[in-house]
Chains A and B, each alone.
Chain A
Amino acid sequence: MKVKLKIWRQENAEAKGSFQTYTFDKVAPEMSFLEMMDAFNTQLITEGKEPVAFDHDCREGICGACSMYINGHPHGPVSGITTCHLSMRHFKDGETITVEPWRAKAFPVIKDLIVDRSAFDQIQIAGGFISMNVGGAPEANSIPVKVKNADEAFDSSVCIGCGACVAACKNASAMLFVSAKVSQFALLPQGRVEAKERVEKMVAKMDDLGFGNCTNTYACEAECPKDISITNIARMNREFFSAKVS
């Protein structure tokens, strides 16, 4: 297979950056997108050129590092998967593939396709945790949890913090991520204790960092590799409201 790669190249955070177009013909349909990028980088290196910097770690859809905006979609055109799970058989022979970094004020580009997603860490630090005494692990079954709540909390907790929701949103809003993190605690008794402060602090931090506001377009849900539901956003809004009025 042969593809044309139109890739965003940017020397560093301060550089202006531009698209460069390359032809790459050592593509096998069974390669993952990242394997293709590795092979392409090998070619660049043999040619004495600077390889394309991109973020990746687990390569099995759990770390959320592989942030690439491919052909107009975060994590590429196939829904419900990360870039590392995207296979080259979804592209046509000879196709031009546009690869861009996430675009958001709160996610500045560091180099080429790598953006700084530490804004998400800051939101987590602001309230995405529970406080408890150190010591031996308490007996898990001593606090009853409804199965429905446990299931929903689990569904929210599968968010890998990849930032695709921000990348997809026309407003670069982080509400899907933040609401998933708020929900995974709000649904469980251990999380209820600090629920009020948590939602207030996380939302305040999200606003401070310059993420946009949600206008309920639901593009985030459609593009999220973990199918996080926008019902989390409604839950966050409810949590926020009750925190403000009580």
Chain B
Amino acid sequence: MSKKYYSSLTKKYIMSFLGLFLMTFLLVHLSINLLLIVDDSRELFNEAAHFMGTNIFIQVFQWVLFSAFAVHILVGVILQIQNWMARPKGYARRVGAEESIFSRYMIYTGAIIFIFLVIHLADFFANKMIGDVPEITSGNLAGMEDMGLLVMEKFKMGGYVLFYVIIFLFLGFHLDHAFQSAFQSLGLNHPKYTPFIKGLGHFMAIVLTVGFISIPIIIYFFK
């Protein structure tokens, strides 16, 4: 199939480059979400959401982001199918020697992130389309959509909070292996820097996971 068009290594380069790109996006997304926690008036968050929703550069960039997701997922699935096909019959007894347990389940943690993505985007755009978003009534943002309130309301629902927390744990598992893996795929392995990159990868996975998870938990219990 596709391997006739792109070699295994080309696909790995695409995969790792897009994966790292998506991680930087997650950092930006997390920073914006955290505004909800630091600013109770929701003004900062709403301002950021408004900027994201209207700025022409961001509007174009949004499509770059969608494509990055689409290609990362598509190539990931193709690679995985080829990998399954490469061993039609498995072992009766196998003791995996993988360095990290998470490296065994990238397609599954990826699939869970994908399910969330679909729900998240459907949710977001449905609200926007239907125009279901409450308006800000006072202050200098009056008249604009109160996206912050929408998020706060969602995070007051226990079931949704639990769902969200579980999903982001799986994102953390994906990223824990992914970060250092991407550097290796890009050919960047160095006796001096690789241990640091591995450490940074664990750190990033924890920061992103704890960061995203903390928001619904704080809102649910303390706001």
Contact = CB atoms under 8 A, between A and B. Distances in A.
A224 to B, nearest CB: 10
A44 B94 CA distance: 27
B137 interface: no
Contacts of A104: 86-87
Given A73-B95, A170-B83, A213-B79, 12 more contacts: A72-B91, A72-B94, A168-B97, A175-B8, A212-B82, A212-B86, A214-B185, A215-B83, A231-B191, A235-B187, A237-B185, A240-B7
Interface in B99-136: 99-100, 103-104, 106
A180 to B, nearest CB: 14
B159 interface: no
Contact of A213 (B12, B91, B99): B12
B11 interface: yes
Given A213-B11, A237-B185, A103 B91 contact: yes
A228 to B, nearest CB: 14
Contacts of B87: 103-105, 170-172, 212
A6 B11 CA distance: 39
A237 B187 contact: yes
Interface string A195-209: 000000001101110
Contacts of A203: 7-9
B98 A212 contact: no
B62 interface: no
A92 interface: no
A237 B92 contact: no
B120 to A, nearest CB: 26
B97 A98 contact: no
Contacts of B98: 170, 217-219, 222
Given A69-B91, A105-B85, A216 B8 contact: no
Given A231-B189, A240-B9, A100 B83 contact: no
Most buried by B among A213, A222, A237: A213
Interface in A222-236: 222-223, 230-231, 233-236
Contacts of A72: 91, 93-95
B11 A105 contact: no
B86 A98 contact: no
Interface string B147-182: 000000000000000000000000000000100110
B181 A171 contact: no
Interface residues of B, number: 40
A217 B95 contact: no
A27 B92 CA distance: 24
B70 interface: no
B13 interface: yes
Interface of A: 6, 8, 19, 69, 71-73, 77, 98, 100, 103-106, 168, 170-173, 175, 203-204, 206-208, 210-219, 222-223, 230-231, 233-241, 244
A206 B104 CA distance: 22
B7 A103 contact: no
B85 A216 contact: no
B184 A234 contact: yes
Given A72-B94, A219-B98, A172 B86 contact: yes
B199 to A, nearest CB: 16
A219 B86 contact: no
6 contacts: A170-B83, A210-B85, A216-B185, A222-B99, A233-B189, A237-B184
Contact of B83 (A6, A171, A235): A171
Contacts of B74: none
Contacts of B100: 217
Contacts of A106: 86
A214 B12 CA distance: 8
A126 to B, nearest CB: 13
